[in-house]
Amino acid sequence: MNTRKKTEDLCRPLEIEDFTPQSAVFASPPKWHIAHTTWFFEEMILKKYVSNYKPFDDSFGYLFNSYYNSLGDRIERGHRGLITRPNIETVFEYRAYVDKAMTALLNMSESEAIKKLTILGVHHEQQHQELLLTDLKYTFSKNPINPKYVETNLVEDTYIHSGWVDVNEGIYEIGHATDNFAFDNELGRHRVFSEPFQISKSLVTNGDYIDFINDGGYENSKYWLDDGWHWLLENKIKHPLYWKQKNDQWHHYTLSGIASIKEEAILAHISFYEATAFANWSKCRLPTEFEWEIASSQLDWGRRWEWTNSAYLPYPNFKIAEGAVGEYNGKFMINQMVLRGASVATAKQHSRNTYRNFFTPNTQWQFSGIRLAK
Amino acid sequence: MNTRKKTEDLCRPLEIEDFTPQSAVFASPPKWHIAHTTWFFEEMILKKYVSNYKPFDDSFGYLFNSYYNSLGDRIERGHRGLITRPNIETVFEYRAYVDKAMTALLNMSESEAIKKLTILGVHHEQQHQELLLTDLKYTFSKNPINPKYVETNLVEDTYIHSGWVDVNEGIYEIGHATDNFAFDNELGRHRVFSEPFQISKSLVTNGDYIDFINDGGYENSKYWLDDGWHWLLENKIKHPLYWKQKNDQWHHYTLSGIASIKEEAILAHISFYEATAFANWSKCRLPTEFEWEIASSQLDWGRRWEWTNSAYLPYPNFKIAEGAVGEYNGKFMINQMVLRGASVATAKQHSRNTYRNFFTPNTQWQFSGIRLAK
Amino acid sequence: MNTRKKTEDLCRPLEIEDFTPQSAVFASPPKWHIAHTTWFFEEMILKKYVSNYKPFDDSFGYLFNSYYNSLGDRIERGHRGLITRPNIETVFEYRAYVDKAMTALLNMSESEAIKKLTILGVHHEQQHQELLLTDLKYTFSKNPINPKYVETNLVEDTYIHSGWVDVNEGIYEIGHATDNFAFDNELGRHRVFSEPFQISKSLVTNGDYIDFINDGGYENSKYWLDDGWHWLLENKIKHPLYWKQKNDQWHHYTLSGIASIKEEAILAHISFYEATAFANWSKCRLPTEFEWEIASSQLDWGRRWEWTNSAYLPYPNFKIAEGAVGEYNGKFMINQMVLRGASVATAKQHSRNTYRNFFTPNTQWQFSGIRLAK
Amino acid sequence: MNTRKKTEDLCRPLEIEDFTPQSAVFASPPKWHIAHTTWFFEEMILKKYVSNYKPFDDSFGYLFNSYYNSLGDRIERGHRGLITRPNIETVFEYRAYVDKAMTALLNMSESEAIKKLTILGVHHEQQHQELLLTDLKYTFSKNPINPKYVETNLVEDTYIHSGWVDVNEGIYEIGHATDNFAFDNELGRHRVFSEPFQISKSLVTNGDYIDFINDGGYENSKYWLDDGWHWLLENKIKHPLYWKQKNDQWHHYTLSGIASIKEEAILAHISFYEATAFANWSKCRLPTEFEWEIASSQLDWGRRWEWTNSAYLPYPNFKIAEGAVGEYNGKFMINQMVLRGASVATAKQHSRNTYRNFFTPNTQWQFSGIRLAK
């Protein structure tokens, strides 16, 4: 399967040593991503639908569970980097073993449920492909010798500002409508009324953001949400993640090492707090997720996850799935803000205008950016 | 003025020792509430509009500022309980001094701005009257000898369940419309589209909630938001704030001391996390703040702050006021959930169906309760 | 009794508001000191030796216990500042009640055990008199208006440097020898062998210490113990407690308010870490507690607690007393350093050359100073 | 050189994945130990004594510094596990490169200073060999699949109790006396007077300790130092590190996997707090480091590091070496307790009766044990 192969391709530039360590509670090791996406197929499908299925290794059900309480205990999230054994070779054997069993099952069975879960597993793996990249970047950035992962650094796409889209008031339909795959949080298509608004066609660039910095953006509490201001003070935040000033010139760590910052490239690695402060400074605001979806066909999107000013909450008619997969999305619907779009690190098939990504407002390590509205 | 007198009435049952200590970062001492509500008039009005105004004491501008960055430094929030001097007598002299100056100013001036700020100051003081009670209850509850504040404990109102209100789909207007006072966060009246819904006429009682507890509500992660489950585990939460089990019978600390819990009384002191878990267990949900406002005329409300499933975010067309009063509401619009209604501790004039109260989802010390929707 | 009266004298300058708040876990409120020293007599003597003794209030045994595990539960140490009730008047009635019962008991009984415990209780109260002052100073220092407690600030005694004492090698006896009262940790008189050493007759002055500061003492890790250096970095320590620089001139908070620092006065409010760093910078060292005791008759001591380079450990033959009083000293013999001497805040009868005071090496809030050795 | 080779032998059973992760701030990764012991020779000798020495890699001076402030910045101690690059192969090349340069230098030079530093480097490496084992054991123990490192688990040596040694009072000489290598903290040979004492010839066994557990040792505060009791409560300590109860039988994690505990084997992985509590329960005490050294020739020692009741403090006449090596020992002389002897994990040449090991009293991950005195 393409998605399975893609994960392995992403691992090709890695040294064996790169697979295990974990640099933050939120940033899992490559080995864990590889194993956990495999675990999903074994735990959610093979163990349930293949009679007499023999698991590859009984301890893996525990080792590679992420947060499914209903599937039993799991290793503490911050301890994932201590799993030096099984070694990476064994984990790739685990992948092969599960892939083979899945292929056999899919060839044999006509079950809709299995098909659905398989597709969910593929999309789940695509999510982890993106996390594998963002987590790896975070880990590498902590190494003082700034390792290079690949040649293209993913964040140098140049860019032209292209004005505003005007949207009229009206009742709009929101949420996933087609028969294609979507996560549960996108379903529950429903109507919203929107007041008229304007939304920028393009994203904020590094140059725009440097203006904000130079204008004292990080020193003036009036631009910031109160929580954001405390976050900034406590963590001594003075610029986007990975930025560093050397001889009056901004540089940043990228997946191909340290590079100087191109002003015309799109800003990345920004928290919601920073996005809001920038918007206030610009005398604009962030769009809501509904405004974003309504206007999406007229926007240039897909290179950064775009913070919206919508909290991550259930749509009317949101239904929690039965069983373990029901733990997928609903239980995170608090204290998180919605990001729309997709990023340069997102799997191609994983991008649609109803997709609801979500993170806590202090999150910087994603390829996240800013689109303004007013 | 009535509101000013009410504050003093609330203090009548207190010993001098009760005025100073602070039992949590969020729970300010009575002395601080009394001084800070006075500070508001001095700082926002007298110092600005009375030429040659002589402040009562130059250090009070610093001592009794709450969070207005634009008005200069202030004492750390958790240190408010260390202000043993000025003593309470001096603080009451400060009140009298400022009241006299305000009366003189209001008699003399026709300024709309002054009138508006005065009304804002009165509403600000009403908010702090409620906080004075909730904070005092929290502080007293930490004292092993369970001091009694007054005779009526505020939480024994009996109650009858009275069915559901049905609301049709449609476009509804939301937000403050009349000429009466409202906070900035209620303004920006706008339209929302609502899908059809049902909302309970009455609130959840202690008896309903005891059923949830007895059914293992606090031991089963499936009812809980993920953040809520971690909150519960870390803080070993097993029941609403102030509850305690003695010989198989539930008791709670109230403002008139320890009392046994009446099953037919309305539940109080519940966090958003607990409210959500209860709603999930009930196979219902919490209403959004829009549903609440739409249905409000048909509801029995005003005795508990009612958690909604709406995050505290700006209305379309929300405008931040110029100057220091602009710090009042907007900068808190993140990581908080909206509560609608009013509680038994709310000042009578301080209650309206567009009022948006807001707290973080772990907040228990308010007189907060649960209304279900579906 | 004199000691009992002395406690009440110390409270005379206080406002009612000053009695209750607690400014740090280690700094208890005046009310607590007053009640706890009374509790000692009631709990350790009256309840045990007076048949049918009626406690003043049953809840006080719990409220005013400090750390005696064997005497049951007690309120969390950091919550002592929330005991607004009983009010201070009641606590003074408690004192009078217990004093009366104690007087009756002592008039009636010839018991040696009672006499011994009473003397212990008096010395215990003298310790708390000193803590009452140091804790009060700490609490007042947190108040931005810098309240004045009394006229004399206790830390302006001028002073003349007066050379070194030479001590020969030899076997010396250490520990309490007379029949007078001593704490258990001073007993177990024993012999130590000392190599020859020199010890300063006088203490380090503010002026000496300012030289250290001006020479970069707080910026150079080589003078500091590793733990001390981390303590300094984490807490941003740049000078002794209560010091503040205004217009290039050092000031400090004292019990009579803010004062400019006299260079010729003895340094105070210094941690062991700072004392060690100063000694290293001076190319000297701190004396051990044995050296201090051996030379004590030739030293000018009694105005500052003097840090020694001895860890607080049991003497050979140290015996833990039976029962609750056995919890008095032995269980603290870890992670603390010994201070010898006495301070300007120590009760006069509470000073002897075998006394072993002890605090963790980061402690600054005592009237502590530096004596050098080499 | 043998010591260099021994380090490599210790690494033979490791998978590449095992070299990088760090399981606690105090437990460094194998790769770090290997590189840091090499760094010592490059930084302290080659860079100083070989003109035109070309470092293997300029960034390694920063990457593999431990705590030498005078040698410049270093990576945060808890981030050592993120150094996935250089990979382990490169680190072994670094070793070979430095070994070759050192061999050349030693063949060429007669310098005493170089010889001394080389010997220091060898002893430094022997210390890290032991840490490599204890750190690895700690990391492996966090892996739910309990990896096996080698066949012999190091902690099953059986043992016979063999009575007490009596020692008379007298003046004894303490500290290193011969011309052989010793660390600076052992030097400054000096006299101490000792009162008469008894010390156990043998160490406490698992069986002895299980008696303590079964007698409620972990539930009774009276055996514990106050800090130890808080440590136990906060960390929910109920047994030595690595122990686990399964079906009423004690097991422990060892370097050859999970094993049942042999009662007759010597106890290991015990903190000073536990050692003290056990000694109190036994109505004995721990020896001082002086008593241990005085009696050492009559003791069976060398299998566990033995906690003494002596704080780690300088001997009289202790001299801090000039330059970076002066940071070796002196700056840690606070808040640590001395352990004497050696353990099964100590390099053979690294064991002598004047050796002063030291750790904070909560340390469990060393092969530490208990010897009683009275």
Question: Contact, B57 vs B176, CB < 8 A?
Answer: no
**One domain for residues D365 and D216:** yes
- Closest residue to A193, CB basis, from B191, B311, B331: B191
All partners of chain A with 3 or more CB pairs under 8 angstroms: B, D
Q: Which domain holds residue D107?
A: 2-141
Establish if A76 touches chain B: CB-CB under 8 angstroms.
no
What confidence category does residue C85 fall into, taking pLDDT thresholds of 50, 70 and 90? Answer: very high
C155 inside domain = no
Cβ–Cβ of D311/C311 closer than 8 Å?
yes
**Residues C165-178: tens digit of each pLDDT:** 999 999 999 999 98
Q: Residue B74's closest chain C neighbor by CA?
A: C144
Which of B141, B156, B184 is the last residue in one of the domains?
B141
State residue D240's pLDDT score: 98
D151 occurs within a structural domain: no
Q: Which of D141, D175, D206 is the last residue in one of the domains?
A: D141
Please name every residue paired with C260 in a beta bridge, in sequence order, or none if there are none: C251
Q: Contacts of residue A285 in chain B, CB cutoff 8 Å?
A: 314
pLDDT score at A271: 98
What is the chain B residue with the closest CA to A331? B225
Q: Does the pLDDT value for residue D278 go beyond 80?
A: yes
Angle at D176 (CA atoms; ends D175, D177), nearest 5 degrees: 115
CB contact under 8 A, A316 and B197: yes
Shared-domain flag, residues A36 and A85:
yes
Tell me: do B179 and B313 sit in the same domain: yes
Over the stretch D18-47, which tens digit does the pLDDT of each residue have? 999 999 999 999 999 999 999 999 999 999
What count of CB pairs under 8 Å joins A to D? 85
Q: What is the pLDDT of residue D68?
A: 77
Q: Which residue of D has its CA nearest to C172?
A: D193
Please report the DSSP string for D285-339 in residue order: BPPPHHHHHHHGGGS--SSSEEEEEEE--PPTT--PPSSGGGGSSGGG-SS-EEE
Reported as a pLDDT band with limits 50, 70 and 90, residue C47 is: very high
Q: What is the pLDDT of residues B162-175, one digit of tens each?
A: 899 999 999 999 99
Same domain, B93 and B211: no
In chain D, residues with a C-beta closer than 8 Å to the C-beta of C67 are 226
**How far does the CA of residue B101 sit from the closest CA of chain A (Å)?**
31
Q: Where are the beta strands (DSSP E) in chain D?
A: 164-167, 170-174, 190-194, 197-200, 243-246, 249-254, 257-260, 305-311, 337-341, 357-359, 368-369
Asked if pLDDT for residue B321 goes beyond 80, the answer is no
DSSP state of A224: S
Q: Are strands C337-341 and C305-311 parallel, antiparallel or unpaired?
A: antiparallel
C153 lies in some domain: no
Residue B16: list chain C partners with CB under 8 A.
16-17, 87
Judged by CB atoms closer than 8 Å, whether chains meet at B225 and A334 is answered as yes
B329 and B200 part of one domain = yes
In a domain, C159, yes or no: no
Strand partners of residue D202: none
Do A111 and A171 fall into the same domain? no
**pLDDT exceeds cutoff 90 at D319:** no
How many interchain CB pairs under 8 A, B with C?
Answer: 85
**Amino acid letter at B78?**
G
End of a domain among C108, C141, C174?
A: C141
In angstroms, the CA B268 to CA B240 distance is: 8
* Residue keyed to tokens 């100063």: C278
pLDDT digits (tens, 9 = 90+) for B291-312: 999 999 999 999 999 999 999 9
Using pLDDT thresholds of 50, 70 and 90, give the confidence band for residue B178: confident
Using a CB-CB distance cutoff of 8 angstroms, which residues of chain C are in contact with residue D333? 225
Question: What pTM does this model have?
Answer: 0.94
Question: What is the percent of chain A where pLDDT is above 70?
Answer: 99
Helices assigned H by DSSP within B53-199:
60-63, 88-108, 112-141
CB distance from B17 to chain C under 8 Å? yes
The B residues from 195 to 254 touching A (CB cutoff 8 Å) are 195, 197, 221-222, 224-229
How near does any CA of chain D get to the CA of C366, in Å? 20
Q: Quick check: A84 contacting D, CB < 8 Å?
A: yes
Confidence of residue A158 (pLDDT cuts 50, 70, 90): confident
Torsion sign (Cα): C347, C353, C355, C357:
positive
Q: Give the closest of C63, C82, C143 to B23, CB-based.
A: C82
How far apart are the CA of B222 and the nearest CA of chain A, in angstroms?
8
Residue A191 lies in a domain: yes
CB atoms A313 and B310 under 8 Å: yes
**Chain A residues close to B332, C-beta within 8 Å:** 225-227
Inter-chain CB proximity D69 and C311 less than 8 Å: no
Q: How confident is the model at residue B86 (pLDDT cuts 50, 70, 90)?
A: very high
Contact C63 B21 (CB under 8 A): no
**Same domain? D200 vs D319:** yes
Give the nearest chain B residue to C17 (CA atoms). B84
- For residues C368-373, average pLDDT: 98
- Helix D112-141 with D88-108: angle, nearest 10 deg: 160
Q: What is the pLDDT of residues C289-332, one digit of tens each?
A: 999 999 999 999 999 999 999 999 999 988 887 777 777 678 99
N-terminal to C-terminal alpha carbon distance within chain D: 44
B88 contact C CB<8A? yes
Is the per-residue pLDDT at A152 higher than 80? yes
Distances (CA, A) of A17 to A36, D20, D231: 19, 7, 35
Mean per-residue pLDDT, B77-86? 92
> Can you tell me the mean pLDDT for D219-234?
96
Whether residue C156 lies inside any domain: the answer is no
Predicted local confidence at residue D195, as pLDDT: 96
Q: For D145, which residue in chain A has the nearest alpha carbon?
A: A59
Same domain, C261 and C331: yes
Q: Is the pLDDT of residue D282 over 80?
A: yes
pLDDT confidence band for C287 (50 / 70 / 90): very high
Task: Please state, for a pLDDT cut of 90, what percent of chain B lies above it.
Answer: 87
| Cβ–Cβ gap D87/A15 under 8 Å | yes
Q: What is the pLDDT of residue B323?
A: 75
Q: Give residue-wise pLDDT tens across range A100-120.
A: 999 999 999 999 999 999 999
Cβ within 8 Å, pair A227-B335: yes
Residues of chain B in contact with residue C145, where contact means CB-CB under 8 angstroms, are 59, 63, 85-86
Q: Does A24 contact chain D (CB < 8 Å)?
A: no
* D16-30, D143-157, D186-200: range with lowest mean pLDDT: D143-157
pLDDT at residue C301, rounded to an integer: 96
Which pLDDT does position D324 carry in this prediction? 74
Instruction: Specify whether D235 is located in the same domain as D354.
Output: yes
Please give the Cα distance from C100 to C192 (Å, whole number): 46
Cβ of B69 within 8 Å of Cβ of A221? The answer is: yes
> How far apart are alpha carbons B300 and B292 in whole angstroms?
11
Q: What is the pLDDT of residue A70?
A: 76
DSSP state of C37: H
CA-based nearest residue in chain A for residue D62 = A144
pLDDT in tens, C333-354: 999 999 999 999 999 889 999 9
Contact A17 D88 (CB under 8 A): yes
Q: Does B374 touch chain A (CB under 8 A)?
A: no
pLDDT, tens digit, for every residue of C202-245? 999 999 999 999 999 999 999 999 999 999 999 999 999 999 99
Each residue of B140-151: pLDDT tens digit? 999 999 999 998
How long is chain D? 374
| D84/A144 CB distance under 8 A | no
What is the CB neighbour count within 10 angstroms for residue A38? Answer: 26
Distances (CA, A) of C188 to A27, A117, C337, C354: 57, 76, 19, 11
Query: Are D228 and C190 an interchain contact pair (Cβ–Cβ within 8 Å)?
Result: no
Using a CB-CB distance cutoff of 8 angstroms, which residues of chain A are in contact with residue B169?
Answer: 191
Q: Is D148 inside any structural domain?
A: no
Lowest average pLDDT, out of A35-39, B221-225, C159-163, goes to C159-163
Q: Do chains B and C touch (3 or more CB pairs under 8 A)?
A: yes
Query: For D268, phi and psi rounded to 5 degrees?
Result: -140, 165
For residue C44, CA distances in Å to C5, C29, C41, C160 come to 20, 22, 5, 45
Query: pLDDT tens, A335-355?
Result: 999 999 999 999 988 999 999
d(CA C276, CA A198): 65
Mean pLDDT of all residues in chain A?
94
pLDDT, one tens digit per residue, over B55-70 is 999 999 999 998 777 7
Which of C19, C21, C62 is facing B82, going by the closest CB pair? C21
Mean pLDDT of B192-197: 97
Q: Which residue of D has its CA nearest to A18?
A: D84
Mean pLDDT, chain C, whole residue set:
94
Residues A86 and A220 grouped into a single domain: no
Total structural domains within chain C: 2
Contact A225 B190 (CB under 8 A): no
Contact between A17 and D16 using a beta-carbon 8 Å cutoff: yes
pLDDT digits (tens, 9 = 90+) for D335-364: 999 999 999 999 988 999 999 999 999 999
Residues in chain D within 8 Å Cβ distance of A63: 144-145
Q: Whole-number mean pLDDT of chain B?
A: 94
Residues D128, D169, single domain; the answer is no
Residues D89 and D231 grouped into a single domain: no
- Does D contact A via 3+ CB–CB distances below 8 Å? yes
The reply to whether D146 touches chain A by the CB within 8 Å rule is no
Nearest CA in chain C to D197: C316
Q: C316: nearest CA in chain D?
A: D195
Rg over alpha carbons for chain D, rounded to the nearest Å, is 21
The domain that holds A213 is classified in CATH as: 3.90.1580.10
- Over residues A247-276, the mean pLDDT reads 96
CB contact under 8 A, D82 and A16: no
Q: Please report whether residue D86 resides in a domain.
A: yes
